[in-house]
Amino acid sequence: MLGSEGEIATTKKLSSGTAMSVFVSEPDKIVSDRMAENRTNIEKDEDEEVSKLDDNNFTELERKLIEMVSKDPDQKSMLDQINFVREQDGLRIEIVDRENASMFAIGTSVLLPRARDLMEKVAFTIQKLPNKIVVRGHTDSHAYKRGDVRNNWLLSTERSDSTRIILESNGVKSERFLKIEGVADTAPFMANDPYDPRNRRINIILRYQSVRS
């Protein structure tokens, strides 16, 4: 039996035959382990609640962005270039190029007008959320001309940073950005065709608040 001070109650017989209760201090390690377990359970419950809130916010974000793009005559055709993917770490907003509908001027990190307008809408839908953000750029496998000092690693990173700049300039706080990265053509959208334009894309990942790494 556990006493009020974290002690274990035992029974001891006196020489007179009378029984009495004595308390033996519970080892510090046992108390410490139990406290740690309780803290872990509390944190787990809190994380689950926060994740539910994040999921609700993500659902509303998706609805709002689709609605905004649908109502814009100049952008409605871009709806099929936007993917929402729920991942273990959070929500991935994926904006994909297609034939004759690129986000960036060829070989540069300059956002074209329609893509810039779309990024402004993305910024509007995420600016009030607390979630940390990862921006990741992808390219296709088309290489630069022989002898050119530039490469797809640099290009994909620059495009990620251009995206960050647009998001920041439209109300997304700079401290929310956790990572800006470019992965070149190492993770193609169309694995069977590394030159497919859909391999060129920008991912904006909103991390669950419970993800701490």
Q: Which domain holds residue 149?
A: 40-207
**Section 167-196 average pLDDT:** 97
* SS3 at position 170: coil
**Predicted pLDDT at 48:** 80
Tokens of 208: 């669950």
Q: For 51-82, write each residue's pLDDT tens digit.
A: 899 999 999 999 999 999 999 999 999 999 99
Give me the phi and psi of 131, to 5 degrees please.
-65, 140
Distance CA 202, CA 93 (A): 8
Distance CA 197, CA 142 (A): 10
Whether the predicted pLDDT of 91 surpasses 50: yes
Whether the predicted pLDDT of 103 surpasses 80: yes
In a domain, 35, yes or no: no
**Section 11-26 average pLDDT:** 52
**Predicted pLDDT at 147:** 72
Asked if 158 and 181 touch (Cβ cutoff 8 Å), the reply is: no
In a domain, 20, yes or no: no
The alpha-carbon radius of gyration of the chain (Å, integer) is: 27
**Predicted pLDDT at 84:** 98
Domains identified in the chain, total number: 1
Lowest mean pLDDT among 23-27, 107-111, 173-177, 207-211: 23-27
Whether the predicted pLDDT of 33 surpasses 90: no
Report the CATH number that the domain containing residue 185 is assigned in CATH.
Answer: 3.30.1330.60
Taking each helix axis from N to C end, the angle separating 28-70 and 113-126, rounded to the nearest 10 degrees, works out to 140
In a domain, 169, yes or no: yes
In a domain, 55, yes or no: yes
**Predicted pLDDT at 102:** 93
Single-letter residue type at 36: A
